[in-house]
Structure 1
Amino acid sequence: MTEPRKGALPASADMPVWSIVRGRDGASLTLSGRWIGRETALPRFTAQDLTANASRETARTPAPGGRGDIAPSSPAIQRLACDLSGVSAWDTGLIAFLWDVRQACTEAGIRFDSEPLPSPVQRLLGLLPENARPAQGASRRKGRPAFLERIGGGFIAMLAETGAIAALARQTMQASLRILSRRSGMRRSDLLNDFASAGPSALLIVGVVNFLIGAILAFVGAVQLQKFAAGIYVASLVGIASVREMAAVMTAIIMAGRTGGAYAARISTMQGNEEIDALRVFGIPISSYLVLPAVLSLVITMPLLYLYGCLIGMLGGYVVAISMLDITSLGYFHQTVIAFGPGQFVFGLVKSIVFGAFIGLTSCRIGMKAGRSAADVGIAATRAVVIGIVGVIALDAVFAVIANSVGI
């Protein structure tokens, strides 16, 4: 027997309505009309509707013998099937309605039979989770977690992220070793574009910053060293500071803010446009196609930018020293050459390579784990810049301890 129809009162045959029809082996949910969400407000289906239909007496029939006795009510619904033969048109609003029906069946302990549904409806409904509602009675902890719990959770999350970056570095290294056999999956055009963005395009800002840093070091040194008639050692101060610390660190900070943020924004935009998902579907490794060109371009350009920054920094110190002190150009050059040896340059080159690899890996990792909205692109770029700058300074502190231990 047919239950009273739910939803809006049907003003015409095109209005979306539903009803439940009882049978001996279960019940059938019958739908009719046009289920187009953009045309009209679609009916809602809740667990209360299903419970009310399951507990209602469906029919009273004469008992065997013809005496007009009233039979007891039929048992509760055990299985619910769907009949869409009366639906003339539908869109995703119908899928949302059927999903609500499936959720209500799950809560009521009724088996939802999706076999009678058309195959397109089954495929779309299969994309939705079976049960997206939290279990009733589940204990929920109120308030903020304890202080030690927050510290422990943050530390565990940091270790997990460190492991993910290490795994990405291993995959990128393995892909780089396959470059010689031309099986790395990296396109040469991508490497050239990243190389041009990280190298020649950054010369101006790297030069300006390192020139000003060298000039500031020379100015501060000249003010103090003049008191002891040791102005000539300004050249040594600027040279050692540029080669050991300032050129590598300042160049890495510039690249973290300029190139690292751009990498994170680019990959997070691809994540939002589902391009990363498309690459995975086609079996293209992300580490070879996206991460390897970015990391390799920074690893190649950072040592070159470091040497360029050293020269420009010394030039800035030279301009200030010549204008403020009674020092000749030849004397400044001679004092700069004898201030440090080739080992200082090697140490700075190693630091710049590590900085470049760190910036590339962390920026790509942040972009890959970003969300899919437009706001997440800005968040990923900001996070890449902050983590890149802080990480470079932390790595420089580690290198300072190592240099002190080995006597460099």
Structure 2
Amino acid sequence: MDSHAPESSSAAQKITPAQPEWTISTSGQTPELHISGNWTIDEHVPLAFSSDALSANNQAGSLTVDASKLGQWDSSLVSFLWSAKQVAAKKGLSLDISDLPEGVQSLSSLLPETPQAPTPLHDKIHNPFTLSGAFTLSTLNEVGALTLLGLDTAQVSTKALSGHGGMRLRDLLANIFDAGPSALLIVSVVNFLIGAILAFVGAVQLQKFSADIYVANLVGIACVRELSAVMTAIIMAGRTGGAYAARIATMQGNEEIDALQVFGIPISSYILVPAVVSLMVMMPLLYLYGCVMSIFGGYVVSVGMLPDITGAGYMHQTFGAVSMSQFEFGFAKSIVFAIMIGLVSCRIGLKAGRSAADVGTAATSAVVVGIVGVITLDAIFAVIANALGI
């Protein structure tokens, strides 16, 4: 039993991993870099070659690497050799790695000859003219892209009416249900409260002049002409527009848009047209429904708060104050709002990135741009109406 003990200890010494070491020797005029041991990250290998390891008076043109005693290795050896290559280059030497394994030579060939210089930090002076010009060009570019998208959608919509546009009726009906009946509850609540608030504020002020009955005029004209169309459009921008952008951005991330393009399926007829057409169909109807709910909200507050106003008198005053031209004006605005929300939401979804965070960013951008666009278009309509005397 004792005679086998030395053999066991010698076997244990053989399987003990050697520590990574490197030395420099000179054979004649040629310096050699001797590498021995296991060069793995677990062995805490030296990743940098000493800058003073080579003398400056070497006459040879290369630094030869001797890897006869090299054990296991990983990328840490490649990092060390790259560092040695940089030091040798400063001494006028090239690194000869022909004795190394092929894997080390292949990885070393992928590294650059010299390390990349760090990018200098400069204090940027933001020129206001440069910033405003860049913003203007970016805005014009988006307007142009949105216009082309609208023209393409209009062309495909025309073909779809004849049954040759490639739009599936099932997709259109699904979008109509999402944009219409599913939004009735929130449209009802918001418009009812808007009418009630207007009636309450108007009643408090008009009571001072014994003009209680004109609360009906205030609620009717304000809601039919402006508030019902604007509030319904804002609701649709936050609810439906954001959903469109998130859905298309998700399709981008899942590469479904790329798959449709590979199969030759037009994106406009498959995705854009059902979304835009459904909003164009449902937004005017939701506007009319919002007008009814707003007037009803004013009716409830006025009849309940003002003792001199009856229900029949309130409705008679409303019908006399609100003309059909006011409904036509609000109806036209709702259609324009629907087109803008649909195109902007789809455009933002199509240009979104492919990560999960980009889906949320696209939805947020669609909501913000849609709401700002609705307010801006309403201001433009107000100027046009004033110029035309409507």
What range is the shorter-chain TM-score in? Answer: 0.7 to 0.9
User: 2:283 & 2:196 partners in 1: Cα distance?
Assistant: 22
Instruction: Sort the Cα spacing of 1:58 and 1:283 in 2 relative to 1 into closer, same or farther, 3 A.
Output: same
- 1:163 equivalenced with 2:124 (yes/no): no
- Offset of residue 152 of structure 1: 1.3
TM-score normalised by the chain length of structure 1: 0.70
Q: What pairs up with 1:125-140 in 2 under 5 angstroms?
A: none
Among 345, 370, 373, the residue aligned to 1:363 = 345
- 1:215 equivalenced with 2:196 (yes/no): yes
- 1:349 equivalenced with 2:331 (yes/no): yes
Partner of 1:310: 291
Over the matched positions of the two proteins, sequence identity in percent amounts to 58
- Offset of residue 8 of structure 1: 9.7
User: 1:196 & 1:230 partners in 2: Cα distance?
Assistant: 43
User: 2:384 & 2:148 partners in 1: Cα distance?
Assistant: 25
Q: What pairs up with 1:1-400 in 2 under 5 angstroms?
A: 44=78, 56=94, 101=109, 104=112, 142-325=123-306, 326-400=308-382
SS at the partner of 1:179? helix
Partner of 1:403: 385
CA contact (8 A) 2:348 2:366 kept: yes
Partner of 2:21: none
User: 1:41 & 1:365 partners in 2: Cα distance?
Assistant: 46
User: 1:372 & 1:227 partners in 2: Cα distance?
Assistant: 60
User: 1:279 & 1:212 partners in 2: Cα distance?
Assistant: 44
Higher gyration radius (CA): 2
- Offset of residue 147 of structure 1: 2.1
- Offset of residue 315 of structure 1: 0.2
Deviations 1:132-184 (A, max 9, x none): x99x8999864253222112111111111111111111111111011133221
SS at the partner of 2:160? coil
Structure 1 residues 141-150 or 339-348, which shifts more? Answer: 141-150
Structure 1 residues 151-160 or 46-55, which shifts more? Answer: 46-55
User: 2:181 & 2:313 partners in 1: Cα distance?
Assistant: 32
CA contact (8 A) 1:210 1:310 kept: yes
Structure 1 residues 155-164 or 183-192, which shifts more? Answer: 183-192
- Offset of residue 56 of structure 1: 3.6
User: 2:286 & 2:129 partners in 1: Cα distance?
Assistant: 44
**Amino acid paired to 2:363:** A
User: 1:277 & 1:6 partners in 2: Cα distance?
Assistant: 51
Q: Extract unaligned runs of 5+ from structure 2.
A: 1-31, 41-73
SS at the partner of 2:245? helix
- Offset of residue 280 of structure 1: 1.7
Q: Extract unaligned runs of 5+ from structure 1.
A: 12-39, 60-83, 88-93, 109-132
User: 1:57 & 1:378 partners in 2: Cα distance?
Assistant: 51
User: 1:7 & 1:213 partners in 2: Cα distance?
Assistant: 83
CA contact (8 A) 1:267 1:368 kept: yes
User: 1:137 & 1:41 partners in 2: Cα distance?
Assistant: 23
Deviations 1:320-352 (A, max 9, x none): 110111111111111111112111111111100
**Amino acid paired to 1:193:** A
Structure 1 residues 41-50 or 318-327, which shifts more? Answer: 41-50
Structure 1 residues 206-215 or 271-280, which shifts more? Answer: 271-280
TM-score normalised by the chain length of structure 2: 0.73
User: 1:152 & 1:308 partners in 2: Cα distance?
Assistant: 44
User: 1:44 & 1:248 partners in 2: Cα distance?
Assistant: 68
CA contact (8 A) 2:206 2:214 kept: yes
User: 2:288 & 2:376 partners in 1: Cα distance?
Assistant: 22
User: 1:173 & 1:229 partners in 2: Cα distance?
Assistant: 53
**Amino acid paired to 1:202:** A
CA contact (8 A) 1:6 1:43 kept: no
CA contact (8 A) 1:7 1:44 kept: no
SS at the partner of 1:372? coil
**Amino acid paired to 2:155:** Q
User: 1:8 & 1:260 partners in 2: Cα distance?
Assistant: 64
SS at the partner of 1:257? helix
Partner of 2:45: none
**Amino acid paired to 1:387:** V
User: 1:357 & 1:101 partners in 2: Cα distance?
Assistant: 57
Count of aligned pairs between the two proteins: 319
User: 1:262 & 1:346 partners in 2: Cα distance?
Assistant: 29
User: 2:118 & 2:376 partners in 1: Cα distance?
Assistant: 47
User: 1:7 & 1:202 partners in 2: Cα distance?
Assistant: 74
CA contact (8 A) 1:243 1:344 kept: yes
User: 1:161 & 1:99 partners in 2: Cα distance?
Assistant: 45
Structure 1 residues 277-286 or 251-260, which shifts more? Answer: 277-286
- Offset of residue 4 of structure 1: 9.3
CA contact (8 A) 1:8 1:43 kept: no
CA contact (8 A) 1:7 1:43 kept: no
Structure 1 residues 50-59 or 377-386, which shifts more? Answer: 50-59
Instruction: Sort the Cα spacing of 1:347 and 1:41 in 2 relative to 1 into closer, same or farther, 3 A.
Output: same
